[in-house]
Amino acid sequence: MDSPVALIIFNRPTITERLFEIVARARPKQLLVIADGPRPDQAGDAEKCLATRAIIDRVDWDCDVLKNYSPINLGVGIRPATGLRWVFEQVESAIILEDDCIPHPAFFRYCDELLEKYWDDERVMHVSGDNWNFGERPFSYFFSRYCYSCGWATWRRAFQYYDPDLTLWPALRETPWLLDILGDSRAAEFWAGKFELTHATGITHNGWDWPWLFACWVHHGLSILPSTNLISNIGFSQDATHTKSPHDERADVPTREMMFPLNHPPCMVRDVEADRRIFAQVGWPPEPQDFYHKLRRRCAAALPAPLKRSFSSLKSPSALRNMP
């Protein structure tokens, strides 16, 4: 494979070793490793971090290994953000894996080929290896607005727009920009809340990835998702920072073989149904499909931007009947 591989590791030597064994079989020519430092208030963290980093020293193939190890703990927001900035200062493109994201061996060839195919196509900003139960598609991959990042790849040309401070958010906050991008008023309201929270409190509390999604949407970038799942996220557990439920439908999804050569879709069109499914997984429950709610959504879509928020706060007939 030609593409560099970037690993994000911390203090979990057992799962990092499992990931390393798969990466070693892919034999990338360049390996970039981002590691966070131990937490001072957690006993045993320093030893676990050292044991995890020692796994990287076992590279035994012809490979240029670059390390970006923090001596202190920066956390799940700042450490990936600063580490990925460093990655794209070194290389033009990269395949990125966190320690609990276990790829199918075909994931590397899939990313390698798509990074090459869309190298100069600024319409595409993200290549994901995740397909969390969206069903089969007629081609090897499809296009989405959502940037799943359990195992993914991108280019320096795209990541240059990453802004953890969401500097552009105040200028976009009161515009219909999100509704135009997503075509769904509830999704627009949900993500507006996430971006507002991140802008107000920063990535320290909210993670590094929402600003990446924001950057892709600001620049109208599409994401590529595979038609078969290539990444199994084994990090859904109570000791995780965000993905705490092992019963989440995105947890430990089995990987499946990707057939080659890739069967490319004939046109670059966002898969709206898949995006609705994604929003149902990460956002609010599916919208009611009765006549009232369908009519309400159609009326809301026809309103000018300043009236949309007021309209969305109106109660349904059943709610009005139950009001004192």
User: Tens of pLDDT along 120-146?
Assistant: 999 999 999 999 866 678 999 999 999
Range of the domain at 280: 5-287
Mean pLDDT of 280-289: 67
Question: Which is more confident, 305 or 214?
Answer: 214
More confident residue, 246 or 271: 271
pLDDT-derived band of residue 306, with 50, 70 and 90 as boundaries?
low
Q: Is the pLDDT of residue 315 over 50?
A: no
Q: Are residues 179 and 306 in the same domain?
A: no
Whether residue 83 sits in one domain with residue 94:
yes
CATH number, domain containing residue 83: 3.90.550.10
- Statement to judge: residues 199 and 309 lie in one domain: no
Q: Are residues 200 and 315 in the same domain?
A: no
Same domain, 197 and 319: no
pLDDT of residue 320: 34
CA 199 to the chain's CA centroid: 18
Do 274 and 299 sit in the same domain of this protein? no
Number of separate domains in the chain: 2
Beta bridge partners of 152: 96, 128
Residue 268 token pair: 């670059």
Residue 308 neighbours by CB distance under 10 Å: 17
pLDDT on residue 154: 98
pLDDT, average across residues 217-235: 93
Q: Is 298 in the same domain as 279?
A: no
Residues 220 and 320 in one domain: no
Same domain, 102 and 129: yes
Same domain, 249 and 314: no
**Single pTM value for the model:** 0.84
Residue 223 CB partners (closer than 8 Å, separation 6+): 124, 125, 126, 127, 128, 143, 144, 145, 146, 147, 148, 216
Residues contacting residue 189 through CB under 8 Å, at least 6 positions apart: 312
Shared-domain flag, residues 71 and 183 = yes
Asked if residue 315 and residue 256 are part of one domain, the reply reads no
Which band of pLDDT confidence, cut at 50, 70 and 90, is reported for residue 198?
Answer: very high
| Position 323 confidence tier, pLDDT thresholds 50, 70, 90 | very low
* pLDDT tens, residue by residue, 59-113: 999 999 999 999 999 999 999 999 999 999 999 999 999 999 999 999 999 999 9
pLDDT, tens digit (0-9, with 9 covering 90-100), for 251-264: 567 899 999 999 99
